[in-house]
């Protein structure tokens, strides 16, 4: 596994920020809000050339073989620009599922293309209510004399409408989990994009009706995917928290600058105590969230760590804190912060969706409490 030095990571972050500032401007993001795909394919091709989609892909499959420490740098910058890119779906969730699975054939078929940005994958790992609990998954895999069939549905599947294939977390009658690969256009697969609070990303309900599953489509042996599902769900939870920290950090900086520049009653509004408190609370939220997310990142990079605990720490604090910080940013900006023309609402909506994906704050806090009390 390749690890960059601190200097190299700083350079990676600086280059990512420069690229996104130039290529994924606020104007470009807004132009994609009403686009059917919501994807700037020119920017995505350039990102693939930069190697961002290859960060977590092992070197033997054409990737960088780097760690979550490196991937977190890119996800943070993507969140800072509220960029509409399929990094979470393809370069994070799908790569984690394929690398963590046991199918060498699927890894060899898909990972090089994902690393090169030639193919887009996504993962359906949340049930109809958004739960990642195995017993609450909506996709059901059944086995009979006629073979394996996939039925049911999954919701909140990122970028399913543009994915070439979908990795599905399915349960059986005993709630044992299996990960399977299905082509988006396969008979019985229906993808319906659903409206969400965040217009910078597309989430879909994917319905499966008697979809034939061959042995070659199995990422793991039937019923043995519990550990893989835990890992993928944790990766998703940490990834959206990284995205939220990037968005909240940007709003913190934007609000601080505005508080210095905006004059009211003959003085900068930042000189008023109430505005000072808002800015200070944003800083506390961002820095504490950064620490919580760092715990989750380290857990994903440490083979001996409990990834579910790492995800629970990140989601328990960073999820609501970053959304609260963006809400404060709206208030610091006053009336203009509530307008469509200002970007504050894009950041607030982005962090609110991040807060809800891959398990609610309440669920992760209960999970974290159980971990702590069991020691």
CA distance 154 to 189: 11
- According to the model, what pLDDT value does residue 186 have? 97
Per the CB < 8 A criterion, the answer to whether 191 and 203 are in contact is: no
With a pLDDT cut of 70, the percent of the chain lying above it is 100
- According to the model, what pLDDT value does residue 145 have? 87
Residue 1 has pLDDT above 80, yes or no: no
- According to the model, what pLDDT value does residue 375 have? 81
Residue 21 has pLDDT above 80, yes or no: yes
What is the pTM for the complete model shown?
Answer: 0.96
CA distance 144 to 12: 51
What mean pLDDT do residues 171-191 have? 97
- According to the model, what pLDDT value does residue 263 have? 86
pLDDT band at 362 (very low <50, low <70, confident <90, very high): very high
Residue 37 has pLDDT above 80, yes or no: yes
Domain ranges of the chain: 6-119, 122-217, 226-373
More confident residue, 332 or 5: 332
Per the CB < 8 A criterion, the answer to whether 218 and 172 are in contact is: no
Residue 152 has pLDDT above 90, yes or no: yes
CATH dotted code for 226-373: 1.20.140.10
- According to the model, what pLDDT value does residue 134 have? 96
CA distance 19 to 294: 24
pLDDT tens-place string over residues 265-282: 989 988 899 999 999 999
pLDDT tens-place string over residues 240-267: 999 999 999 999 999 999 999 998 898 9
pLDDT band at 4 (very low <50, low <70, confident <90, very high): confident
Residue 2 has pLDDT above 80, yes or no: no
What mean pLDDT do residues 78-89 have? 97
CATH architecture of 122-217: Beta Barrel (2.40)
- According to the model, what pLDDT value does residue 227 have? 97
Residue 94 carries which DSSP code?
I
pLDDT tens-place string over residues 294-316: 999 999 999 999 999 999 999 99
Mean pLDDT for all residues in the chain: 96
Per the CB < 8 A criterion, the answer to whether 81 and 24 are in contact is: yes
Secondary structure, 3-state, 8-76: HHHHHHHHHHHHHHHHCCHHHHHHCCCCCCCCCHHHHHHHHHHCHHHCCCCHHHCCCCCCHHHHHHHHH
pLDDT tens-place string over residues 59-82: 999 999 999 999 999 999 999 999
- According to the model, what pLDDT value does residue 5 have? 85
Whether domain 6-119 has CATH 1.10.540.10: the reply is yes
């Amino acid at each position: 596994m390749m690890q960059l030095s601190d200097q190299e990571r700083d350079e990676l972050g600086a280059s990512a920020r420069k690229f996104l500032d130039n290529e994924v401007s606020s104007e470009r993001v807004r132009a994609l809000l009403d686009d059917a795909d919501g994807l700037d394919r020119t920017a995505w091709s350039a990102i693939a050339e930069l190697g961002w989609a290859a960060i977590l892909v092992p070197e033997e499959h054409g990737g960088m073989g780097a760690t979550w420490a490196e991937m977190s740098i890119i996800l943070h910058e993507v969140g800072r620009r509220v960029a509409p890119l399929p990094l979470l779906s393809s370069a994070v969730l799908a790569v984690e599922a394929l690398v963590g699975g046991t199918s060498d054939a699927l890894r060899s078929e898909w990972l090089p293309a994902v690393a090169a940005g030639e193919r887009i994958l996504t993962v359906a790992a949340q049930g109809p209510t958004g739960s990642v609990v195995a017993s609450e998954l909506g996709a059901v895999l059944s086995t009979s004399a006629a073979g394996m069939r996939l039925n049911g549905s999954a919701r909140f599947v990122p970028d399913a409408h543009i994915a070439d294939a979908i990795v599905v977390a399915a349960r059986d009658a005993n709630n044992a989990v299996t990960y399977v690969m299905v082509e988006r256009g396969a008979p019985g697969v229906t993808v319906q994009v659903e409206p969400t609070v965040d217009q910078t990303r597309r989430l879909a309900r994917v319905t499966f009706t008697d979809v034939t599953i061959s042995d070659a489509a199995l990422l793991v042996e039937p019923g043995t995917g519990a550990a893989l599902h835990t890992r993928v769900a944790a990766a998703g939870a940490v990834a959206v928290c990284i995205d939220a920290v990037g968005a909240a950090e940007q709003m913190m900086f934007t609000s601080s600058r505005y508080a210095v520049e905006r004059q009211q009653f003959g003085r900068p509004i930042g000189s008023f105590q109430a505005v000072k408190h808002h800015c200070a609370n944003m800083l506390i939220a961002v820095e504490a969230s950064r620490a919580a997310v760092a715990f989750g990142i380290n857990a994903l990079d440490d083979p001996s760590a409990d990834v579910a605990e790492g995800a629970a720490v990140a989601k328990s604090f960073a999820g609501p804190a970053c959304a609260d910080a963006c809400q404060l940013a709206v208030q610091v900006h006053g009336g203009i912060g509530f307008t469509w023309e200002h970007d504050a609402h894009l950041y607030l909506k982005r962090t609110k969706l991040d807060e809800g994906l891959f398990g609610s704050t309440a669920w992760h806090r209960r999970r974290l409490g159980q971990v702590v009390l069991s020691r």
